[in-house]
Structure 1
Amino acid sequence: MDSFAGNRLTFQETDEADTAITAFIYSEHDDGASKQPAGRVDVMNPSTAATTSWLDQPLIKSLSDVFLPSGYPHSVSEDYLPYQIFSQIKDSLQAFCSSIAGLLSSRAVLQGVGVGNADASPTSALLLHILQDSSGRVATILFAHRVGTALEPECKTYRLAADVFNDIAMILDCLSPGVPAGYMRVTVLSTAGVLRALCGVAGGSSKASLSAHFARWGNLAELNAKDSSQETVISLVGMLVGSLVVSHVTSLSTTWAALLFLLGLHLSMNYAAVRAVQMTSLNRQRANIVFSTLLSSDPDLNIEALASGSGSTIQEKKKRVSRSSSLKTTPEKWKLLTPAEVAEQERIFPKDGALEWISYQPEKQHQPIKQNIGSAAIGVPLSKFFGDTNTSTSSTKGIISSTSSSFKTSLPITQLSTLFEEEAYLFFPCPSPSKKGRWHASILLKKGCSKQDRLKAWAHALLAVWVLNGQKDANDPAQILDIVSRTLAFMSEQSRFERYMMALAAVGWDLDVAALETSGGRRVCF
């Protein structure tokens, strides 16, 4: 109700996005002849001239109500439409591709199981089908166990990987008739079944994470329902057009050429769709990009001082900070990348656990160059941190000797526990066992650590490894510990990292989502 004047009431109707739709004006008058007053309702629809958006056109509005979430575009994130455009084009191409590939693969599979062969038996065909189905089910269980935790943090990666799995399965089905019957053909067909199972797990789980990212009003269920409607229409059109294409593509060479072309186009559109997504959570790759750019743009950061030891120790820092009233710099001088800017730099298939550094250089306009400076693992178990011989990829390999039930380590554990006493994590970088000149940081997380504590642990490890990466002879544990101490003092001075977090939240990052751990994390207390 907007106003009341005399015997007139005006009611304004709005949609979920608070956009005015229709105004109802109720007028009441009493002529004295009737005991009950008479009333009239006037309906005022928005004028066509006032319509400025193409979404407000009657036909478009009706279609958007059917296929787009209520309140669009306000109810979804800004990257929803670009993703859907590329995704639906991709689905259209996939429908065309599936019509051709389905014809080929179905015929190939039937030939493979013995259709048309008088020596083939229904029992062997049934056993082959059972083997394919069983292989897929086992693969589903193992794949979900192995990468289940990584599906949400790396949803863009697994969304594209799902279509790669499905397209390879199509090609294997089509190749199966040319494979000798017996063990090799069974292996090819079973592999195709396994890949389809992996596609189902990766595609379904990653799509759920993307849908949760798009939904802004808690409208996840409706968004998924509308996506299903979009896919149904696209698939229906694709099947009809694909049937027409199949009728004109008859030769084997032409069919394979069309198949490979459509598969390549399909993956290209899916890649473009995933690239259009602007995730607001900080996984390991996005944390590398954001924190390295932010740290390198902070004028207070002096890499030479941190590396040479001319900076203060953490105890001296605390004394100096207590006497200092403020930092030299303000957030206005920091380079804060937005989710959209990071989306342009991140790779869809990043290297697992890599630590990459991007130096902020405002005077240069070209694309920033990423430097791989090492690797890190967060939430590691104690056995991996201490370098138990049962962990072949131990970050401390080479400085640990073990016995059957105990082992010795040169790690400065006492000093580390004292240094990180007030932090919710602990880490110590060591030379990488796989690459010379690189460093690996195993990060222990204490019981009760928050999401912000995990981000600080990763940012601290990134900074410490960057400082160590410039040192040629930094193999002494005492020297490494000194650099870790000075970098921690820098991160903690005047609540610097907390100020980083507030500045990042202000440019659109969701810091309440845990996306750094891609496997079951461990917690320790001491």
Structure 2
Amino acid sequence: MSEPILLELVERDDAGNVTSTYIESTSSESKSRVDIVLPAESKGRVQRLMDVFLPAGYPQSVTEDYIQYQIYDSLQAFSSSIAGMLSSRAVLEGVGVGDASASPTAALLLSVLQESMGRVATILFAHRLGTSLEPECKMYRLAADIFNDTAMVLDCLSPAFPKVARVIILSLSSILRSLCGVCAGSSKASLSAHFAKRGNLGELNAKDSSQETVISLFGMLAGTVVVSWVSTPFATWSTLIALLSIHLATNYAAVKSVSMRCLNRQRANLVLSNLLQSGHISTPAEVSQKERIFEKDGVLRWTDDGIIGHCSVGVSMAVLLNSMDRARQRASSLGLQTTRISDLMQMYGERGYVLWKGQESATVVVVLKRGCSPRDQLQAWAQALLLARRDRTRLSDQKAADGVADDRLSELRWTLDEAARLFEKYEAELINVGWDLDVAALEVRPGHRIEVGVGQ
């Protein structure tokens, strides 16, 4: 007769695997005992080795696209390590290694010049494009490797030029590498935050560093064989082009595999235009397959019609007033009613933004109010899509071509109400399919905010 079980405790690791089972049972003398039952199958050596390089709790602790991205990322790092050794050899030849007439002082000064120009470029680039690095992290992740590969090509070209031209080429190469560092570092931080599901960002970055260390080590070992066998110019360039092609192809595949959950400008175009046209709610995975890695700045795209206009979010109030002034001059010449800024402010009331688009303009301008939320920005983008679409349709009408125009304020009010109804209806469903509406990813330049006051 089996002993009655009083309690059973199952212990699992971070990944959900059973590590031990604790069973408390009673004997015939009413005494209790605890038995420990180990799982029949334990982790093999390969799995234990993989645990060293994968985040704790994998795969539950990371997003589904993590492993695919890491595989491609490892392949690109491996090919980049070998290509980097070829370019380093060319740089050493360029600074005079093996040349008895070369001066160590000249090589040192060249190194100082390269470092100085690279650091200045880092500061300027971070100031100019720092705001756009997170919203467009996939684009800048690929751009970083394009910069890096271009720098390698310049390094390999440098020995063929005179010393003065060589200094310029190597300095330009240093600048490109610095741009690569800014883009890669910032985009990697955004991608890591996307992959981490359990607040394990620090550990994920640490494991990613371990992966890069091992891949770079293997790359250097393979590179020592390659550089010893490849010595002629033709063989060097053939090998370099092949490695850089693999590098860029695997990088493209890596960023393409990532399904970001925040709505930047391009993803907002895809999701919102589908909603407005058919009511279909696109998932992050569906959008990742359709989005371009390099997209034109600030374009408004409709599902079927392509580019229907442009939108600038977070502009200065002066930009909006200039656009209204041009529209006012056109309306006066046609004998139409003009829109006052006070009417515009009254219409938007408690909204977190103010939007304007002249009928003759292809650009929608959005001024953000102080305290504007990410959802206010998304609603502004939805209204911009509606307004640009409506104006595009009107332009195809012969009456519009003849100069007949509707009241702009009425158009703005209608699109404002439609955008508000859209979010009221679909906001919960967008969140349910995986979109994070609390991340502001539409503003890619340092923006301005206004406060609306009432005159006495």
Map 1:44-59 → 2, pairs under 5 A? 44-48=37-41, 57-59=43-45
Amino acid at match of 1:502: A
Distance 1:129 1:522, change over 3 A: same
Deviates more, 1:498-507 or 1:193-202: 498-507
Q: For residue 456 of structure 1, give the secondary structure of its aligned residue in structure 2.
A: helix
| Cα distance between partner residues in 1 of 2:435 and 2:237 | 45
Q: State whether residues 359 and 391 of structure 2, in contact with CA within 8 Å, keep that contact through their aligned partners in structure 1.
A: no
Q: Which residue of structure 1 lines up, in the alignment, with residue 111 of structure 2?
A: 129
Tell me which residue corresponds to 1:250: 231
User: Which amino acid is 2:237 matched to?
Assistant: W
Aligned CA-pair RMSD: 2.5
* One-letter amino acid matched to 2:431: A
* Alpha-carbon distance in 1 for matches of 2:417, 2:204: 46
Contact 1:411 1:477 in 2 (8 A): no
For residues 340 and 265 of structure 1, the distance between their equivalents in structure 2, rounded to whole angstroms, comes to: 25
- For 2:169 and 2:280, how far apart are their aligned partners in 1? 51
* Whole-angstrom CA distance in 2 between matches of 1:386 and 1:187: 45
Preserved contact between residue 353 and residue 375 of structure 1 (Cα < 8 Å): yes
2:90 and 2:159 in contact (8 A); partners too: no
| 1:116 counterpart residue number | 99
Alpha-carbon shift at residue 349 of structure 1 (Å): 0.7
Q: Compute the displacement of 1:450 (Å).
A: 1.3
Shift of 1:429: 1.0
Report if aligned partners of 1:376, 1:443 keep a CA contact under 8 Å in 2.
yes
1:239 aligns with 2:220: yes
Q: Structure 1 residues 95, 127: closer, same or farther in 2, change over 3 A? A: closer
Q: Which runs of 5+ in 1 are unaligned?
A: 49-55, 298-333, 360-369, 388-394, 402-409, 433-437
Residue aligning to 1:501: 427
Tell me which residue corresponds to 2:332.
Answer: none
Q: 1:174–1:476: structure 2 CA closer, same or farther, 3 Å change rule?
A: farther
Relative to 1, partners in 2 of residues 1:443 and 1:477: Cα closer, same or farther, differing over 3 Å? farther
Which residue among 17, 20, 23 is the counterpart of 2:18?
20
CA–CA separation in structure 1 for the residues paired with 2:405 and 2:370 = 26
> Take 2:8 and 2:273, find their aligned partners in 1: how far apart are those partners?
56
Contact 1:277 1:343 in 2 (8 A): yes
- Structure-1 residue corresponding to 2:286: 341
Q: How does 1:169-184 map to 2 (within 5 A)?
A: 169-182=151-164, 184=165
Give the aligned partner of residue 205 of structure 2: 224
**What residue number does 1:379 align with?**
314
Q: Is the CA contact 2:83–2:152 (under 8 Å) kept in the aligned structure 1?
A: no
What SS does the corresponding residue of 2:358 show, helix, strand or coil?
strand
Equivalent residue runs for 1:299-310 within 5 Å? none
Q: 1:424 aligns to what?
A: 352
Q: Give secondary structure in 1 for the equivalent of 2:448.
A: coil
User: Is the 8 Å Cα contact of residues 69 and 75 (structure 1) preserved in structure 2?
Assistant: yes
Q: What TM-score, normalized to structure 2?
A: 0.89
- Closer, same or farther: CA 213–158 of 1 in aligned 2, 3 Å: same
Say which of 459, 462, 467 aligns to 2:390. 467
TM-score (norm 1): 0.78
Structure 2 distance, partners of 1:45, 1:29, is 22
CA shift at 1:90, angstroms?
1.2
Instruction: Return the match for 1:350 from 295, 306, 326.
Output: 295
Q: Which residue of 2 aligns with 1:213?
A: 194
Higher helix share: 2
Match for 2:20: what amino acid? T
State whether residues 192 and 201 of structure 2, in contact with CA within 8 Å, keep that contact through their aligned partners in structure 1: yes
Check whether the contact 2:86–2:156 (CA below 8 A) recurs between aligned residues.
no
Cα contact 1:396–1:431 (8 A) shared by 2? no
**Inter-partner Cα distance in structure 1 for 2:151 and 2:193:** 29
Q: Give the whole-Å Cα distance in 2 for the aligned partners of 1:70 and 1:244.
A: 35
Distance 1:179 1:518 in 2: 40
Give the residue type in structure 1 aligned to 2:124. Answer: L
Distance 2:300 2:377 in 1: 15
Distance 1:100 1:124, change over 3 A: closer
Contact 1:412 1:477 in 2 (8 A): no
**Shift in Å at residue 505 of structure 1?**
0.7
Distance (Å, rounded) in 2 between the aligned partners of 1:260 and 1:105: 17
Question: How far apart in 1 are the matches of 2:266 and 2:389?
Answer: 15
Identity of aligned residues (%): 47
Matched, 1:188 2:169: yes
Deviation at 1:43, TM superposition (A): 2.9
Q: Distance in 2 between matches of 1:476 and 1:215?
A: 54
Distance 1:380 1:358, change over 3 A: same
Moved >4 Å (runs of 4+): 5-9, 26-32, 395-401, 474-478
Change (3 A) 1:100 1:212: same
Is 1:521 aligned with 2:456?
no
**In the alignment, what sits opposite 2:333?**
none
Structure 2: unaligned runs, 5 residues or longer: 330-337
Paired positions, count: 437
Q: Return closer, same or farther for 1:477/1:452 CA change in 2, 3 Å cut-off.
A: farther
SS at match of 2:135: coil
* Conserved 8 A contact 1:105-1:170: no
2:286 counterpart SS class: helix
The whole-number CA distance in structure 1 between the counterparts of 2:359 and 2:237 is 49
Instruction: Determine which of 277, 282, 289 is the counterpart of 2:270.
Output: 289
Correspondent of 1:447 among 364, 367, 370: 370
Aligned 8 A contact 2:55 2:61 in 1: yes
Q: Residue 439 of structure 1: CA displacement?
A: 1.1
Structure 1 distance, partners of 2:298, 2:223, is 42
